[in-house]
Chain A
């Protein structure tokens, strides 16, 4: 009788531990391991402590918080393809698949905004048919992913120059932005033909225009005004807390320049098509260990 009771109790106890672990592992699509379970617990706890808003330059933050805005530079497709003896276009496809499979999980820890650096102004010079293929691939993804994004309640914004992008893609973009503009909790910013310097330049032009029309004084131009004119002003949290660049290259390559003033920069060596749930969790774990001082003493 006693042995039966003890067997039942121990089975119940084990299932109380194993089932949540299995759930976490399934939900985040990460391998079941003690490290991953600990990371998940840490991030979940910090989510509960998360009450204040962050995002403007110069505000104080406590350590152990989750980022509100994560920016990702998607790098490494071509090296990934070269390693496997494939063409660069297949690398791009693999990278796109990685985004589509993991997009829901990017928002899973209470992260509000995710920016993806898909195509830089510098990429127009790529050789061969890579650029037309990319544009066609973006159109395909926009069409296939829109229903999913609408279902998840994700607001979609596309930032960058639109002058060189094919008309058909621009129409899809407008449609997507219009259809999702009322979503609030999750915001996906897709940087297409974007460059940090261009962003600052267009903000400058806009301010100059306002000054010409007498709406503002040039003397009053300050950092807050610049923040409002930049393309990231479409977001509640325009400045990323964490910027991830895959493939081990340690540079920002003209992505968010102004916005990265106090951003924690994380450079994993994994190539983009291989960047999945585990790697994302590692990045968040790393972020939580940072001490953010914004120039003041800890």
Chain B
């Protein structure tokens, strides 16, 4: 009985969502959206659940967001899954997060997973050497398995800090220039350019994000994509990450469209 009611309701729901997305697509859409998935633990506490379930609920919210981004035709999605700072949490929590991550990364390899269904290419960005061998191996396997997909690009930042990314890029630029200098190919260290640093950034596989959404109402970057979000629109809905929904995404895109047209106008004036 419940099924008879539920299925048509779901179909109506899906239909109304697609109509809404079609209306929004009339305006300019972001090419790259980034998400800081904050608030999973507070969600679990609020609902009186045990600690790990907040992150599991967060994962479902992430899958919904990915689906919406795919339906809207947003090509790049970046998520802040685990920061290098998070290693300083209690060991049990870090371990349970690592276990959850391993489970979810492995599930991406399934044939029926969203990754193959939507043609998603997955990158894992961060200091992967800090992860356990198992997680790192699983991540590398997923990157290889999805290398040919090109419909959507998902960048998962794990064991990541923007300052760490910048330091690694700076080191690589220095090494490259020193090698060229010692081989006599490049006289002047002064000629390190912005492009030298940028091409050595791990995030150089994607353009800069147009919108950065951080859930749970906190308005800070927490060492995420500092280099890349210089000109991104920042959006901080109060909803905790597992509570994030279509309406927050739509609202963020509408705000983006409003300031985007203002910025384009200014650019044309210049």
Contacts and interface: CB of A to CB of B under 8 A. Distances in A.
Interface of A: 57-58, 125-127, 196-198, 200-201, 203-205, 207-209, 211-212, 218-219, 221-223, 226, 249-254, 257-258, 260-267, 290, 294-297
A249 B235 CA distance: 11
Given A226-B167, A265-B234, A221 B174 contact: yes
B174 A264 contact: no
A275 to B, nearest CB: 18
A213 to B, nearest CB: 10
B231 interface: yes
A200 B201 CA distance: 13
A265 B227 contact: no
B221 interface: yes
20 contacts: A127-B269, A196-B227, A200-B197, A201-B194, A204-B173, A211-B174, A218-B178, A221-B170, A226-B163, A250-B233, A250-B255, A251-B229, A254-B230, A261-B163, A262-B222, A267-B219, A267-B234, A294-B85, A295-B83, A297-B93
Given A196-B227, A254-B231, A265-B221, 9 more contacts: A200-B166, A205-B190, A219-B171, A253-B231, A257-B226, A260-B221, A262-B220, A262-B222, A265-B219
Contacts of A294: 85, 222
Interface residues of B, number: 48
A28 B222 CA distance: 32
Contact of B170 (A57, A200, A250): A200
Contacts of A262: 220-223
Nearest to B255: A250
B85 A226 contact: no
B259 interface: yes
B86 interface: yes
Contact of A205 (B41, B189, B222): B189
Nearest to A257: B226
Interface string B172-197: 01110110010000000110111001
B222 to A, nearest CB: 6
A9 B175 CA distance: 78
B90 interface: yes
A253 B231 CA distance: 5
Contacts of B93: 297
B197 A204 contact: yes
B164 A207 contact: no
B163 A265 contact: no
A260 B163 CA distance: 10
B38 to A, nearest CB: 10
Contacts of B146: none
B270 interface: yes
Contact of B230 (A196, A203, A212, A219): A196
Contact of A295 (B88, B163, B219, B227): B88
Pairs of residues from A and B, 8 with the lowest C-beta to C-beta distance, nearest first: A295-B85, A254-B230, A261-B223, A208-B174, A204-B170, A250-B234, A265-B219, A257-B226
A262 B161 CA distance: 11
A250 B262 CA distance: 13
Contact of A218 (B166, B171, B269): B171
Contacts of B170: 200, 203-204, 207, 221, 226
B232 interface: yes
B221 A200 contact: no
B189 A212 contact: yes
A294 B218 CA distance: 12
B167 A223 contact: yes
